[in-house]
Amino acid sequence: MSQARRIVSWITLVAAAYLIVVPFALSLFSRTADAEKLSDYYRPVMSERGLDNFRHNLAIVNTGGTELYGKFLPTLQQQLGLEEAQFDAFVADGFPHVANFLKRAPEVVKYLNPATKKVLAQQDNFHDADQFPLANLDVRVGPWALFLLGLVLLALGLWIRSGISVLPIVAVAVIGFGLLVGPAVLGWFHQTDAAEEVAQAARGPFSTAVSNATVDDTYKFDAAFKEMRLSMFPAIGRQLGKSPTEMDAYLHTTFPATMRFLDTWDESIYEGAHDLSLSQIRFKDEFHNADSTPYQALPWIFMLPGAVLLGAGAYALVARRRAPDRASRAAR
């Protein structure tokens, strides 16, 4: 076996070992499985339809909240003939869930709108990251591709050592070229950068403190809204001399934004908020495992061995081509 063939054989075997070991060393099998699970769940949320619905509901919440504090509460307070402190005591004594909501809601709004803007800003990044490694291809294919390619290179390295054919050397050079240029051609640098941006935006919502607070707020707000409808509004209606039907009509006519928020909450917002907030706890471990993936290093994991294999294959082919010339000169 020639020196060039021996060198390319060893390089191919080392590259094979590298590609076989990397998926296990970086835990890519479990991390890509968790990444795919997250993508499958949040893909409808991050779709155009999902985000339009998100924007629509957020507008209802903001408009309703503005009217609630700016008109709804002051008007009811005035109609009951109470000072602000008396009205606060009336709510706190009779409707504790509503009182807790009125204290907590302004704090929630402070993080809700900025957090929503961050989510909406990640639409393009989520879509681009979701194309990795190929559009409509499960990301779990990635580590298996590395592993199987390592086995192929292992076979080629052993075949090269047999000295029978030039074909395995050509195959090594071709594989090296594919590994070197493939990530750039397929846009992996952009896609992995997008994945890092999405992960960075999601780290806050998937933290223990934020995820627990989101779930807690969702349950508490729902309890407050139920207490408004079932207890507070009828109690105020009795003091104003209105039947439940008259009170409901009065509220919808006088405070349309607030009542639209409460109606939409019951119809759809609560279910969506409940599921989304629970998902932050349900998928917290999966997120943190997937987030440990070195996203921006993934293209280089392919390209670096590709460059080495291409160089080794080219060297062996050139050396093989020059061998007859050297033999001819030696014969003369």
pLDDT tens sequence across 69-106: 999 999 999 999 999 999 999 999 999 999 999 999 98
14 Cβ contact partners less than 8 Å away, ≥ 6 residues apart? none
What mean pLDDT is predicted for residues 43-69?
A: 92
Nearest one of 120, 287, 128, 286 to 192, comparing CA atoms: 128
What angle, 0 to 180 degrees and rounded to 10, lies between the N-to-C axes of helices 284-291 and 188-203?
140
Prediction pTM value: 0.83
Tokens of 195: 């994945």
Tell me the domain boundaries of the chain. 3-331
Per-residue model confidence (pLDDT) at position 324: 54
pLDDT digit string, tens, across residues 238-283: 999 999 999 999 999 999 999 999 999 999 999 999 999 999 999 9
- Kindly report the average pLDDT of the chain as a whole number: 92
What mean pLDDT is predicted for residues 195-203?
A: 92
- Percent helix, strand and coil across the chain, each rounded to 5? 85, 0, 15
Tokens of 276: 């989304």
Annotate 95-111 with b (16+ C-beta within 10 A) or e (fewer).
bebbbbbbebbeebeee
Residue 283 CA to residue 166 CA, distance in Å, equals 51
Per-residue model confidence (pLDDT) at position 107: 87
Residue 129 pLDDT exceeds 60: yes
Q: How far is CA 8 from CA 29, 68, 173, in A?
A: 29, 75, 10
Residue 185 pLDDT exceeds 70: yes
Q: How far is CA 195 from CA 50, 124, 133, 163, in A?
A: 19, 10, 11, 44
Tokens of 249: 């009509």
What mean pLDDT is predicted for residues 169-178?
A: 96
Per-residue model confidence (pLDDT) at position 1: 55
Residue 137 pLDDT exceeds 90: no
Nearest one of 28, 227, 197, 229 to 126, comparing CA atoms: 197
Residue 50 CA to residue 55 CA, distance in Å, equals 9
* CA atoms within 13 Å, Cβ hemisphere of 291: 16
Q: How far is CA 184 from CA 180, 181, 264, 302, in A?
A: 8, 6, 47, 11
Per-residue model confidence (pLDDT) at position 331: 47
Which amino acid, residue 84?
E
pLDDT digit string, tens, across residues 26-35: 999 999 999 9
Residue 50 CA to residue 209 CA, distance in Å, equals 26
pLDDT digit string, tens, across residues 274-331: 999 999 999 999 999 999 999 999 999 999 999 999 999 999 998 877 655 544 454 4
Tokens of 224: 């407050």
Per-residue model confidence (pLDDT) at position 327: 45
Max Cα–Cα distance, the chain, nearest Å: 121
Residue 332 pLDDT exceeds 80: no
In the numeric block, the tokens 């994991």 are attached to 301
Per-residue model confidence (pLDDT) at position 144: 95
Residue 38 CA to residue 42 CA, distance in Å, equals 6
Per-residue model confidence (pLDDT) at position 2: 79
DSSP state for residue 229 in the 8-state scheme: I
Annotate 287-321 with b (16+ C-beta within 10 A) or e (fewer).
bebbbebebeebbbbbbebbbbbbebbbbbbebee
